[in-house]
Structure 1
Amino acid sequence: MEKRRVVITGLGALTPIGNNINEFWKNAVSGKSGAVPITKFDTSNFKTKFACELKDFHVKEHLDRSDIKFSDLFSQYGMVTTGEALKDSGLDLASMDPYDIGVIWGTGQGGMDYFEKEVKVYAKTGIPRFSPMLGPKMLINMGAGMISLKYGLKGMSFTTSSACATSNTAIMDAYTYIKLGKAKVFVTGGSEAGIIEMGIGGFNSMRALSVNNEHPEQASRPFDVNRDGFVLGEGAGTLILEDYDHAKKRGAKIYAEIVGAAMTSDAYHVAASHPEGEGASKAMEFALNEAGIKPDEVDYLNAHATSTPIGDISEINAIRRLFGENPENLKITSSKSMTGHLLGAAGAVESILCIKAIETGIITPTINTADIDPVIPKTINIVTGQSVQSNVDVAITNSFGFGGHNATLVFKKWEE
């Protein structure tokens, strides 16, 4: 069976540092922090009082009443970014067979925002008058379902969930199914609306979140010796993946090609990654092997690095295992220093930064990292402070999730 080439023809973003692709990219290039004091609920009793919230985002400006009525925030975020990405792609949905376009979406927590609200009402009243929309709004598959409904997309549709590796998993599935001829186009990516009391409280109990309440904008500091945990974020990212022949026939703009993807499992711990980065290294290795690309041909790596003491070093160890102690050409960043950790949406948003790096030759920085952990070799090139100009032919992005899920994607500059 002939394996088709898969290209990216549309992008959409909703992030703590920008409510569309242009805003997001501009603020990422300038190194803007999205961390602010939480406004969604009273944080008086919480150890962490800040997060990377969306700014000046009003869903009523983007969706109609019925879209909002039948969906949780995470689905709404996905519908908004998909609208942007479809417009960016130039696809004429009216002229296409709707069964040629599928949706493979990702979310880690799904409709927990609405679930929490309903449970709080029940706890207060003791009366089980749950909304009839509780089921549809909280189910994780409804991200894909609502996107399909809104845009009339009738191809393959489902949701993946692999914790913080979720978006990469969704994108990998879309890539694989196009290669196999299951669809000509996929809407893919992920969304998360996890800045809720259970989210902050739960991660606080795990001692996973930063508690730098005095300087929240500086709290996410991947690879820094003083890092003390991640900063929770929210938002969504959408990629339009398309069969190359289909894209070429309609004269589409092509941002980049996706040429490799792989997943592995650590089988090590419920929450912690393997300390030597064994599984993560293999995910990168397998993805590059599929792409036919050698490690020394990779120009840019957008790291999972969340700013946790254990996780960041685990990933550095994975990089060392595959790329060696002195990867001369490899530039590494963690965009979570700006956006916070978007959980199930992280991989999609970070894939967009890889694609934009290929398109523009600009690598966005790791901000707040002033004193790199001394256990990290000085030969590992972590881009800190400011963006850098650098030709990027090949970029990879890592996402790792609770349960030991490791997922890597490989993007390449488009060539005929």
Structure 2
Amino acid sequence: MKRVVITGAGTVNALGQDVAATYEAMREGRCGIGPLEFRDVDRLAIRIGGQVKGFEAEAVFNRQQLSLYDRFTQFTLLAAREAVRQSGLEFSGEMADRSGVVLGNSGGGLLTQDENYRAVYEEGKNRVHPFVVPKLMNNAAASHVSMEFNLRGPSFTVSTACASSNHAMGQAFQMIRSGMCHAMITGGSESMLCFGGVKAWEGLRVMSKDACRPFSANRSGMVQGEGAGIFVFEEYEHARARGAQILGEVLGFAMTSDAADIVMPSKQGAARAISGALRDARVDMTRVGYINAHGTGTAANDKTECAAVADVFGTHADALMMSSTKSMHGHLIGGTGAVELLACLMALNDGVIAPTIGYEEPDPECALEVVPNEAREARVDVVLSNAFAFGGLNAVLVLGRA
């Protein structure tokens, strides 16, 4: 099997509109969650989120492109440009034929849907723009990335709620490892912060009105975010031959299904995904130094995830560092695992562990080292990224130092 490395990274999220700004915010433990700004926000009970502020699409895309690009596609393209630029790859000839894109996304063009439902049902209009369907479809971002970079290999979108990005990156990893592809652009994006998107989540009664405080005894729920995280995965020998900078190696991946409940997580399902990823990576658990937790800030997730980690790692769990960056950038749903993978790369390359901010009170059922409130300097060689989704779908990635 081929080795798989990461040679490019890009992002747009509430902490920053590129990787450098995001790393700086994570090191500082800065919070990107704040008051939401969009039409009819005053009709919502939940009025905070990890919204990307100061983003001017008109300065980046022309009028024709804006008629085709929903906000989640705009985020994806900007992050992909940053990732491909860093990788130094050019896609032509056989390289284009042996490269593709797999992205994670849950809601598709929700802002486009919201605007057009208003137009038809509230304003009584009988016509919508002819590009509404290609603008809102879940695979729009993946398709536009494939067109922009001439990626003629496998290209598709994975939609598995909050595990979408990790599932997508796992598929990209396996395609390169098997020899099917030389390189893949992968990751995920989401933009649900509109009236209908937040109103739908309000109905679940899992949202916080003030802050996201994962693992803290006084947690009050999750907070939505938006943005994209995009990476270039590449076959190791191909990357080495062209002298590419290697940000990290993807060592293993596993996915499981709880087959139990549509919304309540299962300790057993999460534990099987974690242990399966370690087994796939052929890594002894004692080498793992950091876990980027799913860590939503809900009691159901936080307690279940901590129990699963404790079960898998046993006595080594006490030596692990585990943090949830959702406390800073919010929960990006289908895009969340991709943005959180940046914290894993920062830990491997810079020796900085991103903190769990907003932590106020210890929870005896979350008694692991959750790196509260301040970033920590530590050398780690192997890290995990957890993603556990509604529907009982679990996806875990293992990364190693380049």
* Same fold (TM > 0.5): yes
TM-score, with length taken from structure 2:
0.97
Say whether 1:412 aligns with 2:400. Answer: yes
Q: Please give the residue correspondences for 1:16-415 in structure 2 after superposition, counting only pairs within 5 Å.
A: 16-93=14-91, 97-212=95-210, 219-274=211-266, 277-324=267-314, 327-377=317-367, 380-414=368-402
Q: In structure 1, how many angstroms separate the alpha carbons of the residues matched to 2:94 and 2:61?
A: 23
Q: In structure 2, how many angstroms separate the alpha carbons of the residues matched to 1:32 and 1:263?
A: 31
Matched residue of 2:270: which SS?
helix
Question: Which one-letter code corresponds to 1:299 in the other structure?
Answer: G
Question: Which one-letter code corresponds to 2:225 in the other structure?
Answer: G
> How many angstroms does 1:102 deviate by?
0.5
Q: Name the Cα RMSD after superposition.
A: 1.3
The one-character-per-residue Cα deviations of 1:22-76 (angstroms, maximum 9, x if unpaired) are 0000011100001111112232221111111002111233334333221211111
Q: Which moved more, 1:346-355 or 1:61-70?
A: 61-70
Q: In structure 1, how many angstroms separate the alpha carbons of the residues matched to 2:146 and 2:104?
A: 14
Q: 1:127 to 1:45 in 2, by over 3 A?
A: closer
Instruction: Give structure 1 regions of 4+ aligned residues with deviation exceeding 6 angstroms.
Output: none
> Between the two proteins, what is the percent identity of the paired residues?
35
Matched residue of 2:396: which SS?
strand
Q: In structure 2, how many angstroms separate the alpha carbons of the residues matched to 1:409 and 1:287?
A: 6
Matched residue of 1:287: which SS?
helix
8 Å Cα contact 1:17/1:55 also seen in 2 = no
8 Å Cα contact 2:214/2:327 also seen in 1 = yes
> How many angstroms does 1:95 deviate by?
7.4
Long gaps (5+) in structure 1: 213-218
Matched residue of 2:348: which SS?
helix
Question: Which one-letter code corresponds to 2:69 in the other structure?
Answer: S
Matched residue of 1:188: which SS?
strand
The one-character-per-residue Cα deviations of 1:359-383 (angstroms, maximum 9, x if unpaired) are 1111011101011212223xx2110
Q: In structure 1, how many angstroms separate the alpha carbons of the residues matched to 2:13 and 2:133?
A: 27
Q: In structure 1, how many angstroms separate the alpha carbons of the residues matched to 2:294 and 2:116?
A: 33
Q: In structure 1, how many angstroms separate the alpha carbons of the residues matched to 2:258 and 2:116?
A: 36
> How many angstroms does 1:96 deviate by?
6.5
Q: In structure 1, how many angstroms separate the alpha carbons of the residues matched to 2:388 and 2:61?
A: 32
Matched residue of 2:260: which SS?
coil
Q: In structure 2, how many angstroms separate the alpha carbons of the residues matched to 1:47 and 1:72?
A: 25
Q: Which moved more, 1:39-48 or 1:74-83?
A: 39-48
> How many angstroms does 1:205 deviate by?
1.3
The one-character-per-residue Cα deviations of 1:222-260 (angstroms, maximum 9, x if unpaired) are 001111111110000001000011101111000110010
> How many angstroms does 1:329 deviate by?
2.6
Matched residue of 1:403: which SS?
coil
Matched residue of 1:225: which SS?
coil
Question: Which one-letter code corresponds to 2:314 in the other structure?
Answer: G
> How many angstroms does 1:155 deviate by?
1.5
